[in-house]
Structure 1
Amino acid sequence: MNKIKISTKYNKTAKLLVIFIVVFTTLNFQSCAELDPDPLEFNLPPEVFSNLDEMDKGISGIYSKIVNASRWTTFYAPAWAGDDMTTWASGNKADFREFDQRNVQASNSRLLSNWNAILDVINTTNSVLDRSKGLENLAVDQDLLNRYIGETHFIRGIMFYQLARVHGRIPLPLTTIPDPNISRATQLEVFQQIEADLLEAEKRLPNVYPSLKEGASRPNKGSAKSILARLYMDWAGFPLKDNSKYTDAANIAKTVIDNASTYKFGLVDDLENLWTVAGRFNNESVFTLTYCNSCGDDRIANWKYGIVGLNDSAGGWSETFGEIKFYEDFPTGPRKEATYRMDLDWRNFSSAKDQKSPIFKKIAGPKGDLPNSFITNRNDFFMRYAEVLLIYAEASARSGAVTADSWEALNKIRRRASGLPFATPDATVDLSSGDLAELAFTERKWEFAGEYLRWYDLMRLERVQEVLGNRTPSGTIAEHNQIAGSLSTDNYFSPIPAEALNNNPNLGN
């Protein structure tokens, strides 16, 4: 795939934010008619917003930049380091292979593209927040203003979080024109800033954002709480290892569970429906990144699915595959069938360019559901309600506060994985004893396979050496991308991109 070229934001000119608000007339792309016909047209906003319409346009610009950042697989590329996913062992996938093989170089172009694109979103949120100052003193709808401010903090928080999961210590620009010589914050400061943004969002956002389809394509109070729970799980793990955060994770996840109907969250009955175009809006997603290929503009479509997950014989681009041992170990049943394309006999692929690797249904789509293209209508589920349930189960166990509700949270996921009604107890799959923390951790392994999450689970519990050091399949086909770098904790985070470091040496501190 072609690489996005975005200018480095931390250079000596400090003129990175020459007012770039890209305006969409809607943010959730729910119909073609609602889209601006030219989503890359630049408008010049006032230095201070004079009304809420101007602020709404500013927020539209934020979402357009999120689409620009996230429509490529680059946004999730570091997660190839997990034991669930791999890429083509040859061809033009060298940048992806570096993550897969734990040998990421500072010159990796995907690393730089992701760095620049995410910071572009963050800088836009800072611009919107700065320009909104003073609106509280005007005769505007204060509830709507609160919602907009909360939404902007939410986006800034999750973008800081996305970048921190890749690099660990990152800079924290909080002003419209950031310091060109900014240094990286400490890991604690990074987590505290993400927490502060999400708490501000949780305070200001409504229980449900009005006039949207299912899946919170604009965040609500439950969206902020859910991602806070995920943050606290990472905070409790490597590198800070603050075990007290397990209690925080359990408590806030339980709040989301207890108020799921208020936030319009829940599990879908059939896991496979999540990976269909028809299921792109659903109440299991607690925050959805939305795209729209059918709107007639490729720039607002999703470029990560379809043929990027297929082999050469199927007309694919051989970009994202499943790892063999992980596939072999995956328990048989409806969940495995919803995760992989069981109709494709990957062991007997015959083209000279074919790599004998399992095909993810989550990436390639169910047979016949996606067009023969890499440009699709699929949405991204930034976080699913299933994760909230498993966070509660694991965190309550690791904090020593297991309850019947903790087991029920785990069992709902287990029932659905077996094709059973998730809300109905079933003695054939339900558990009520054992190491709940490890059971929930393992359940996450299977539930989120191919969703770019496994690597971060291995990292937070320091299981990288244990898991990636044992990737030998049982059959005659070996894993295609062998580990080339260190599996120790000093290689968990990716380096700062070389170009960014050259422009600002303080990022090396």
Structure 2
Amino acid sequence: MRTTKISKFILSALLAGGLTFSVSSCKDYLETEPVSLFGPDYVFSTVSSVQKQVLGVYASLAGDNGYGIRLSMYYTLDDDLMMGQGATPFPDNERRDIAHYTVQPSNTQLANPFKQLYQGIERANNSIYYIPKMELYTNGTEAQKRELRRLHGEALTLRAQFYLELIRNWGDVPARFLPASVETELFFGRTNRDEIYDKLLADLEEAATLVPWRSEVSAKDERITQGAVRALRARMALYRGGYSLRLNRQMERGSNYLEYYKIARDETKTIIDRNDHRLNPSFEAVFKDNIAAQRIEPNGEVLWEVAMAGGSSALGDSKLGYYNGPRLNGSIGNGALTILPTYFYSFNPNDLRRDVTAAPYNISAASIIQPRTLQTMVDGKFRRDWIPGMLASNAQYFGVNWPMIRYSDVLLMFAEAENELNGPTADAYEAVNQVRRRAFGKSANTPDVTVDLAGGLGKSDFFNAVVQERAWEFGGEGIRKYDLIRWNMLGQRLSETKAALAAMVAKKAPYETLPSTMYFKNNSTKVEWVNSLYAPVPSPAPSGADIGSIAWVGNGITNTILTYYAVGFTPNKSELMPLHTTVTDSNPSLKQEYGY
């Protein structure tokens, strides 16, 4: 189990649930009832009790119904890089239907994440409402006031994240910014998302003045710091300025969208100029040596991660490394998320991100690699063989944190926003090229013209380069589908990917030289291919007692991927999901929209 500060505090906050306010699991998501003998006068009387309250807000991010699996690995697919769980049963009125865009309002995976997000909002609303009213907030010691301001800023930031997740999955949603105990209205209808976004952007602007920078707190501190607040504000501004599916079932963006790109550019530039956060020199180390190893990344590259702890869903853990990634002996673990062959072959062979993002193998308890076929390749950033003590474990919860925002995202958001406002300036190029140099293992002292994004691109070409760079950088991190939606490119990219997969099966350009079989060294602790990934199988084919083989490019792609991949996608509908039937049944002010 992770033993850093926030995980232990979240665990204690959950166990001491009497210090939090919760949405009743038996009632409508907007209807609350007290679950504690402790009222707000008690909870918001000391700094320590407020800490437990706010850490209870953090807890609403975690577990099966948070970023432990559903918000991170069910809702985020299919995109043009990866496919959610395939095979039968399909349709399943469950996770496969969500991934492949055949989701219905009765889907069993819709209700609980929706409720948990509103639970987090209610907990945050209590903190935001009561903390500034505390006597200690204005008349306490300097240390007390500083800590209470920080807790206030954290609650504002967490509420913004909960609403962002609701909006990007369900569009216009009910919005409430006061505790249920002081509201007079019980049933809320949909609120225009632009109004919600503008409120949250203002909240985050305030939160940035309340929380410290990373360099101003302990190196072991996992709580939200100012870089995370500003990065979230930049991300939210890009969603606000981007396209989204509206109630008229059209993908639209506001005429004032450049105002929001300016917010994104200014916030990311502030983070860059502050220099509190930097890229880890090794892309692999971010995931292998830090996230999977359950250590805080020392360069500040991971601005914010959802801390997981407890060993079960109820105590806020995650299934990262169990639901996805390599399986143990080919049978333990789900191995549910598929790296699309077209994504694998989009990487430059020298791009170090390819073999971190993609794991073409299962693994034995003795660390022996068992290669997988091209069409069953899994994602690798959260692989079980990088998680201490979990290589041979039958457990489903590994305690691996979910990275919310990395510094490379700050750099690429800056480049995108700067280009939209001013074209591809030198600063925009440098932001992209920092990411690219790290990806190829190059430093600023060893430039390589094949690594740096060359100058002279027009605005459109530079944008397309950023789109592609984000694909290579963030595969498997739950970002891509929502990027494509805000760019109004999801349907186009899904169609293009299907066509490219069919071309690969037919060995058409640019895939005509790819091998139909890959040969590998048996009994190896690493993937050792004997033949090239980029050339036909040599004649004679590799052979010997120590050589194994697996099918590579061929009809298996049709049978295992194209049968399921995004098969139900409907433009101007599938960009959002329906409300679960229990939500509309319990709230007369809500009805299904967006074609459901």
TM class, shorter-length: 0.7 to 0.9
CA contact (8 A) 1:83 1:326 kept: yes
Q: Which amino acid aligns with 1:46?
A: G
1:245 is displaced (CA, Å) by: 2.0
1:273 alignment counterpart = 285
Which one of the candidate residues 259, 266, 283 is aligned to 2:274?
Answer: 259
What secondary structure is seen at the aligned counterpart in 2 of 1:143? helix
Q: Which moved more, 1:274-283 or 1:284-293?
A: 274-283
2:341 alignment counterpart = 324
Percent identity, aligned pairs only, is 22
2:378 alignment counterpart = 359
Q: Which amino acid aligns with 2:376?
A: S
1:410 is displaced (CA, Å) by: 0.3
Deviations 1:44-100 (A, max 9, x none): 333232222221121122122322342531122221131222233235683222222
Which one of the candidate residues 436, 439, 462 is aligned to 1:417?
Answer: 439
Aligned partners of 1:36, 1:104: CA distance in 2, in Å?
Answer: 37
2:27 alignment counterpart = none
Q: Which amino acid aligns with 2:269?
A: K
What secondary structure is seen at the aligned counterpart in 1 of 2:105? coil
1:155 is displaced (CA, Å) by: 0.6
What secondary structure is seen at the aligned counterpart in 2 of 1:470? helix
* Off by >6 Å, runs of 4+ in structure 1: 345-348
Aligned partners of 2:39, 2:387: CA distance in 1, in Å?
Answer: 48
Q: Which amino acid aligns with 2:242?
A: G
Aligned partners of 1:227, 1:133: CA distance in 2, in Å?
Answer: 23
1:176 is displaced (CA, Å) by: 1.4
2:480 alignment counterpart = 454
CA contact (8 A) 1:362 1:450 kept: yes
Aligned partners of 2:122, 2:336: CA distance in 1, in Å?
Answer: 31
The change in CA–CA distance for 1:335 and 1:349 in structure 2 (over 3 A counts) is closer
What secondary structure is seen at the aligned counterpart in 2 of 1:451? coil
2:176 alignment counterpart = 173
1:211 is displaced (CA, Å) by: 4.9
Which one of the candidate residues 387, 392, 413 is aligned to 2:409?
Answer: 387
Aligned partners of 1:220, 1:271: CA distance in 2, in Å?
Answer: 23
Question: How many residues end up aligned between the 2 structures?
Answer: 474
Which one of the candidate residues 308, 315, 320 is aligned to 1:291?
Answer: 308
Answering whether residue 81 of structure 2 is matched by residue 84 of structure 1, we say yes
1:28 alignment counterpart = 6
Which one of the candidate residues 197, 200, 210 is aligned to 2:203?
Answer: 197
- Name the structure with the higher helix share: 1
Aligned partners of 1:164, 1:481: CA distance in 2, in Å?
Answer: 26
Answering whether residue 454 of structure 2 is matched by residue 437 of structure 1, we say no
Alignment of 1:48-447 (within 5 A): 48=41, 49-68=44-63, 69-76=65-72, 77-91=74-88, 94=92, 95-135=94-134, 136-140=137-141, 141-177=144-180, 179-208=185-214, 211-213=217-219, 217-239=222-244, 240-241=253-254, 242-261=257-276, 265-276=277-288, 277-278=292-293, 280-282=295-297, 283-292=300-309, 299-306=315-322, 308-311=324-327, 313-332=330-349, 333-343=351-361, 349=372, 356-366=375-385, 370-371=390-391, 372=393, 373-421=395-443, 425-431=447-453, 432-434=455-457, 435-447=461-473
CA contact (8 A) 2:78 2:565 kept: no
Deviations 1:288-347 (A, max 9, x none): 1112358x9972432232354335824222322222322232332311011111455999
Aligned partners of 1:365, 1:273: CA distance in 2, in Å?
Answer: 15
State the TM-score, normalized to the length of structure 1.
0.85
What secondary structure is seen at the aligned counterpart in 2 of 1:28? helix
Provide structure 1 residue ranges, at least 5 long, that are not aligned to the other structure.
Answer: 1-24
The change in CA–CA distance for 1:38 and 1:382 in structure 2 (over 3 A counts) is closer
The change in CA–CA distance for 1:356 and 1:455 in structure 2 (over 3 A counts) is same
1:138 is displaced (CA, Å) by: 4.1
CA contact (8 A) 1:151 1:201 kept: yes
The change in CA–CA distance for 1:92 and 1:118 in structure 2 (over 3 A counts) is farther
2:513 alignment counterpart = none
Q: Which moved more, 1:450-459 or 1:59-68?
A: 59-68
Provide structure 2 residue ranges, at least 5 long, that are not aligned to the other structure.
Answer: 20-35, 245-252, 364-368, 506-554
The change in CA–CA distance for 1:123 and 1:307 in structure 2 (over 3 A counts) is closer
Which one of the candidate residues 39, 42, 52 is aligned to 1:46?
Answer: 39
